[in-house]
C-alpha cells in the first residue's frame, strides 16, 4: 500500500490509469474467460520504481555532497599552497634526498604465502634497483609452502641482504601473523649484531620497488612516525576494465583523499606497501600488544596500524616526490587482479576489514576530533553506498520494464514529482563532476588515453563493489560465529623488465 508521504503521486496515478479513455486498456483476456488487470500491475511497478528511485536519489545526494566537500578542501588547499608555500620554496624532488654512507639500517618486510611465481623476480629486481647503503630484506614464508621457500633460498644464496624467515605456523594464517614472525627475526638479528634498525618498510611479493624510495624514507622518517608513498597500479592490457579500475581509484585516493586526511589531522591509513614505519612507533605498539606490533586477528592490519599511530599522536605523511620537475612521482607499482572473481575477493577482504570488522575493532577515534570522525565515517560508508547503488540499478531495470508495459497497455506513465525531478537533476550534476574529477586524476597519473577508460570502468567498479559487499557480509557473520580470519589472497604476476615505465 502507498505511504502517506507519497499520496499525491498515487492519487495522480489513479486518475491517469483509471480515466475513461484508458478503461478499455486495463485488462486482457488470457485463455478463456481469465482476465489480467494490467492497470494494477503497471501501478505496482511504477510504485516500486518511484520508491527505489527516491531512496537512491537521496543516497546519491548525501554521498555526492560528502565527496564534493573533499574536493573543495583539496582544491582550496592546493590553491593556498601554490599561492603561498610554492612561491617561497621549490618543490622537493628525488635528487634532494641524498643518503649518507653511514645511514641507519632499514628493514624491508615482505610477507609471502604461495608466492613462488613472483617472489624471486621481485627480490632480484629490488636488490638491483634500491639505492641505499644499509638495508636488509626479510621475507616471511610458511613451513608448508616449500616452493616459495626454495625461491627465496635461491636469491638469498647470492645476496646476504636477503633473510629467509620461516614462521612457526602452517599457512595460510593472516598477513599480520607472518609480519610478526619477521619482527621477531629482526629483534634476534639486532640482539646478535648490536645494531638497531631505523625503520621498517612494508612491501608485497608482487611489488615493483622504486630505486629511490629508501632515500625518501631515510630522510623523512626522522620527523614522522610513518611515511607512505603513492601506490600506482600497473596498466594491464589484458584487463583494461577490471584491473584498470584500480588505476582510477588509487590515482584519486593517493593524490587527493589521503592529502585531505593529512590536512585534517586525521589518522593516515597505510596501504600495506610502500610505507615506512619508525622503529620507535613499532616499539610503542608492540609494548601495548604483548610484543607483537601487528594484530594477527585482523585482515587489514595496515589500515588499522595507520589509525593506531594517529591515535597515539604520531605524525604521518604522504610523500608525493617527483623524480624530476614535472615528472612522475616516486611510487610503488604492481599488477592488480585482472579477473572479476579475484577483484571481488580482494575488495571483499578490504570491505570486511575496514567497513565491517574495522568498525568493531577501531571505533571512532579521538573524541571531539571532527576530521577523524568524518574520515572514519567515509571509510565505513561502502555497504550503505552499495545498497544505494543496488536500488538505483533496480529502479533503472524496473523503469525499463514499466516503459514497455506502458507502451503495450496504452496507460500513460505518471508524471515525475517536482522534488524527485530536482533531486535527479542535482545528482546528474554531481555525477558529471565526479566523473570529471576521477578522469582528471587518472590523466595526471597515466595520461589522457587511460582517462578515457575511467567512465566505463566506473560501472565495472560499481559491479565489483556490489558483489564484494555480499561476500564481505557473509565473511563478517562467519567471524561473529567464531570462525578464525584467514589470509585469502589472489594469484600475482610480476611485470617484465621495464614494465613499470609504462606509467607516465
The verdict on residue 267 lying in a domain is yes
Higher-pLDDT residue of 6 and 285 is: 285
Q: Please, are residues 248 and 237 in contact by the beta-carbon 8 Å criterion?
A: no
Q: Which of 59, 415, 490, 16 is nearest to 239 (CA)?
A: 490
Does residue 329 have a pLDDT over 70? yes
Other C-beta atoms within 10 Å of 153: how many?
A: 14
- Over residues 431-449, mean pLDDT: 95
**Which pLDDT score, from 0 to 100, does residue 13 have?**
46
Q: Which of 463, 481, 474, 414 is nearest to 17 (CA)?
A: 414
Of 375-379, 407-411, 465-469, minimum mean pLDDT range: 407-411
* CATH code for the domain of 263: 3.90.550.10
The verdict on residue 422 lying in a domain is no
Write out the three cell numbers for 163.
Answer: 633473510
The verdict on residue 102 lying in a domain is yes
Q: Specify which residues 275 forms β-bridges with.
A: 202, 228
Does residue 305 have a pLDDT over 70? yes
Write out the three cell numbers for 50.
Answer: 518511484
Q: Which of 251, 233, 253, 252 is nearest to 243 (CA)?
A: 233
The verdict on residue 197 lying in a domain is yes
The verdict on residue 407 lying in a domain is no
Q: Which of 201, 259, 195 is nearest to 441 (CA)?
A: 259
pLDDT in tens, 69-109: 999 999 999 999 888 877 777 788 999 998 888 899 999 99
Write out the three cell numbers for 104.
Answer: 641507519
Q: Which of 272, 333, 339, 283 is nearest to 312 (CA)?
A: 283
- Over residues 166-195, mean pLDDT: 94
Angle, helices 38-83/7-17, rounded to nearest 10 degrees: 140
Q: Please, are residues 220 and 317 in contact by the beta-carbon 8 Å criterion?
A: yes
CA 476 to chain centre: 18
Q: Please, are residues 232 and 251 in contact by the beta-carbon 8 Å criterion?
A: yes
Instruction: Please report where in the chains the cell 603561498 appears, as a residue.
Output: 84
Instruction: Please report where in the chains the cell 608485497 appears, as a residue.
Output: 204
Of 219-223, 276-280, 320-324, 364-368, minimum mean pLDDT range: 364-368
Q: Specify which residues 162 forms β-bridges with.
A: 137
Higher-pLDDT residue of 390 and 123 is: 123
Total domain count for the chain? 1
Angle, helices 454-480/418-446, rounded to nearest 10 degrees: 100
pLDDT in tens, 128-152: 999 999 999 999 999 999 999 999 9
Dmax of the chain from CA atoms? 96
pLDDT band at 37 (very low <50, low <70, confident <90, very high): low
DSSP 142-161: -TT-HHHHHHHHHHHTT-TT
Q: Please, are residues 277 and 226 in contact by the beta-carbon 8 Å criterion?
A: yes
Q: Specify which residues 332 forms β-bridges with.
A: 231
Q: Please, are residues 300 and 354 in contact by the beta-carbon 8 Å criterion?
A: yes
pLDDT in tens, 470-484: 888 888 887 777 777
Backbone phi, psi, residue 407, to 5°: -70, -40
**Which pLDDT score, from 0 to 100, does residue 4 have?**
42
Q: Please, are residues 139 and 164 in contact by the beta-carbon 8 Å criterion?
A: yes
**Which pLDDT score, from 0 to 100, does residue 253 have?**
95
- Over residues 298-321, mean pLDDT: 90
- Over residues 275-295, mean pLDDT: 94
**Which pLDDT score, from 0 to 100, does residue 36 have?**
54
The verdict on residue 209 lying in a domain is yes
pLDDT band at 338 (very low <50, low <70, confident <90, very high): very high
**Which pLDDT score, from 0 to 100, does residue 34 have?**
53
Does residue 330 have a pLDDT over 50? yes
Q: Helix %, strand %, coil % for the chain, to 5? A: 60, 10, 35
Parallel, antiparallel, or unpaired for β 27-29 and 135-141? Answer: unpaired
As a whole number, the mean pLDDT across the chain is 87
Give, as one character, the DSSP assignment of residue 501: G
Q: Domain limits at 190?
A: 91-338
**Which pLDDT score, from 0 to 100, does residue 12 have?**
46
The verdict on residue 463 lying in a domain is no
Read off the pTM: 0.86
Q: Please, are residues 250 and 257 in contact by the beta-carbon 8 Å criterion?
A: no
Does residue 30 have a pLDDT over 60? no
Other C-beta atoms within 10 Å of 186: how many?
A: 22
Q: How many CA atoms lie within 13 A of 281 on its CB side?
A: 27
Alpha carbons 57 and 66: distance in angstroms, whole number: 14
The verdict on residue 10 lying in a domain is no
Amino acid at each position: 500500500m502507498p505511504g502517506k508521504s507519497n499520496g499525491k503521486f498515487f492519487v495522480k496515478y489513479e486518475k491517469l490509469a483509471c480515466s475513461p479513455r484508458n478503461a478499455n486498456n486495463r485488462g486482457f483476456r488470457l485463455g478463456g474467460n481469465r482476465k489480467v488487470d494490467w492497470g494494477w500491475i503497471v501501478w505496482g511497478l511504477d510504485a516500486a520504481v518511484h520508491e527505489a528511485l527516491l531512496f537512491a536519489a537521496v543516497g546519491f545526494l548525501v554521498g555526492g555532497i560528502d565527496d564534493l566537500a573533499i574536493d573543495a578542501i583539496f582544491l582550496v588547499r592546493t590553491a593556498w599552497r601554490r599561492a603561498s608555500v610554492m612561491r617561497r620554496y621549490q618543490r622537493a624532488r628525488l635528487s634532494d634526498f641524498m643518503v649518507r654512507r653511514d645511514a641507519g639500517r632499514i628493514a624491508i618486510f615482505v610477507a609471502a604465502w604461495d608466492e613462488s611465481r613472483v617472489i624471486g623476480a621481485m627480490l632480484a629486481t629490488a636488490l638491483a634497483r634500491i639505492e641505499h647503503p644499509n638495508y636488509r630484506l626479510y621475507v616471511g614464508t610458511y613451513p608448508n609452502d616449500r616452493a616459495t621457500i626454495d625461491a627465496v633460498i635461491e636469491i638469498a644464496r647470492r645476496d646476504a641482504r636477503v633473510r629467509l624467515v620461516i614462521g612457526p605456523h602452517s599457512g595460510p594464517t593472516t598477513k599480520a601473523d607472518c609480519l610478526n614472525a619477521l619482527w621477531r627475526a629482526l629483534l634476534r638479528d639486532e640482539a646478535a649484531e648490536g645494531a638497531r634498525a631505523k625503520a621498517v618498510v612494508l612491501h608485497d611479493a608482487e611489488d615493483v620497488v622504486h630505486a629511490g624510495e629508501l632515500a625518501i624514507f631515510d630522510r623523512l622518517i626522522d620527523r614522522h612516525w610513518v611515511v607512505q608513498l603513492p601506490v600506482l597500479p600497473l596498466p594491464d592490457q589484458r584487463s583494461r576494465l577490471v584491473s584498470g579500475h584500480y588505476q582510477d581509484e588509487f590515482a584519486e585516493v593517493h593524490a587527493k583523499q589521503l592529502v585531505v586526511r593529512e590536512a585534517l589531522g586525521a589518522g593516515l591509513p597505510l596501504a600495506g606497501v610502500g610505507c615506512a614505519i619508525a622503529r620507535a612507533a613499532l616499539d610503542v605498539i608492540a609494548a601495548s600488544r604483548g610484543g607483537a606490533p601487528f594484530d594477527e586477528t585482523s585482515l587489514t592490519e595496515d589500515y588499522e596500524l595507520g589509525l593506531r599511530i594517529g591515535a597515539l599522536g604520531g605524525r604521518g605523511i604522504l610523500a608525493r616526490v617527483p623524480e624530476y620537475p614535472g615528472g612522475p612521482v616516486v611510487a610503488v607499482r604492481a599488477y592488480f587482479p585482472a579477473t572479476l572473481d579475484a577483484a571481488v575477493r580482494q575488495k571483499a577482504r578490504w570491505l570486511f576489514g575496514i567497513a565491517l570488522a574495522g568498525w568493531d575493532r577501531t571505533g571512532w577515534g579521538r573524541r571531539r576530533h571532527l576530521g577523524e570522525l568524518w574520515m572514519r565515517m567515509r571509510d565505513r560508508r561502502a555497504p550503505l553506498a552499495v545498497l544505494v547503488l543496488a536500488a538505483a540499478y533496480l529502479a533503472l531495470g524496473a523503469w525499463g520494464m514499466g516503459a514497455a508495459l506502458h507502451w503495450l497497455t496504452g496507460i500513460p506513465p505518471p508524471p515525475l514529482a517536482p522534488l524527485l525531478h530536482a533531486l535527479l537533476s542535482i545528482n546528474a550534476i554531481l555525477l558529471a563532476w565526479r566523473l570529471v574529477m576521477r578522469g582528471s586524476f587518472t590523466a595526471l597519473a597515466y595520461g589522457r588515453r587511460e582517462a578515457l577508460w575511467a567512465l566505463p570502468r566506473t560501472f565495472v567498479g560499481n559491479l565489483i563493489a556490489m558483489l564484494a559487499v555480499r561476500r564481505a557480509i557473509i565473511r563478517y557473520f562467519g567471524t561473529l560465529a567464531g570462525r578464525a580470519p584467514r589470509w585469502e589472497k589472489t594469484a600475482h604476476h610480476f611485470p617484465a623488465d621495464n614494465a613499470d615505465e609504462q606509467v607516465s
